[in-house]
Structure 1
Amino acid sequence: MATKQPAGAAPILVLHKVVEILDCFSVEEPEPTLQQLIQKTGLPSSTCQRLVQNMVREGFLDRDGDRYRIGIGLVRWATPGTVGLDVVRLVRPILQQLRDETGETACFYIRDGAFRTVVAVAETRHVVMRPFRVGQVMPIHAGAPGKIFLAYDPEAWEALRDAPLTKFAPATPDSLETLEAQAAVARDQGYYAAFGERHEDVGSISAPVFDHSGRLAGVLGLGFPTQRVGPDDVPRLGPVVAQAAAAASTALGQAP
């Protein structure tokens, strides 16, 4: 007759193995392969593969070809503890108002090293759209939100100097000199618009949000398909985004 395991013993062992797998992910190596996970954890191949498959199914990991990254579900669960429930709660209605006013998806980003993460979103109601999800992680050198981080957060430059400037599309900036010029434009305008830097058919317009101490708290902006919004729309939408960001700054306690 088989001996029954003590209650809770197996789940604790499984959780330890899950933690070992999650510890393999870092900003420096965000997308390891299954073989790399097996090598780093030292787990048997079959065990590691089974756990990884289950973690994908439950949203702990996402799979892209033969590579894995931290899943949207896991980042979403961690978001309240990362940025604070109050920030998301205060910014969300402003995002919804910006979405209703412009018709486009409105997002709020925070920075982690050389990456930016969506922590709140109000999705467009248009049928044609580019998905932006809470927990979505993107590099700061591509897209309008990153130019705002570089314009107002000196630590963003320190993180970027050691990061690869991956070329996602023909318009992706691939030099620090280009990024410095773009950040200067963002400071002068109080907002920034970018087209086709991360995906050729996606554009964004962003502006800074400051907290009660005057420090950059995050970046608020619009994301949209370029077939609906183009450079000619920036003079109209840029000030609207900047005004929404100013309202978010006020909500976070920035003095007038």
Structure 2
Amino acid sequence: MASPQIEVIFDQDTSTFTYVVYTAAGSECAVIDSVLGYDPIAGHTSTTSADRVIEFVRSKDLKVQWLLETHAHADHISAAPYLRQHLGGAIAIGNQISVVQGVFKKIFNLQSDFLLDGTQFDYLFAPDEVFHIGSLRAQALHVPGHTPADMAYLVEQDVVFVGDTLFMPDLGSARCDFPGGSASSLYRSVSRLLSLPQSTRLFVCHDYPPDGRAPACEATVAEQRAKNIHVRDGISENEFIAMRNRRDATLGLPTLMLPSIQLNICAGVLPAAEENGVSYLKIPLNVVL
């Protein structure tokens, strides 16, 4: 059985971990949850984080097979189209992205020909579909709750890239108050992940460390079950739902939610330039999300 190698690239501005998963130099690889930098004040994008991915991939002579998204992120813009342009690979997400598209097409009043079938992506995973990253066996686990379309990617029964389903044990779990979110669904999704073997390594998408701790991206199932402040062993579904609902009611929207969601439901592809050569985003005013 092949063993996955994992390169971790941390984007400080968005507290996002991007992962490159491969077996050896010269092998196929997958890039998970890439980041396109965005300055919301100036309206400028940057490719600093994505260029670090490109540099690593080329240094190992890797062949990008997949550009995987765990979900349509609300806190950063995907760099998948930029990476596809420079490295190749298929942009893929769970097929429930169509549900998310349906919600946000209305919020952003997107053009009537904006399709709600996920065809903006190169590939849509069915729930729990098995696929391969070169010689590595992988499975796209459907883990709804944070959004209806969340996927976690299980690779060779050893590691899982959990997206926003779980955070590090001292931070707990993701919010569930975005459109289509569900605390009960998230509890069941987390329970599924934590039923994997105790030694399974779980890699998170974000970390917002408290003072005194450096950013961290990995914990085992055993560590999560023993220490996670929201979903450790002994916390019931009803207790979790009550906690999550109370906590979510206190949270503001992520700084980059409106630009991020608008682009990420389109696989990160920027809007076509208008007649002056400039692309524009839409910002809905006085809309409750």
Largest Rg, 1 or 2: 1
Higher helix share: 1
Q: Which has the higher contact order (CA 8 A, sep 6+)?
A: 2
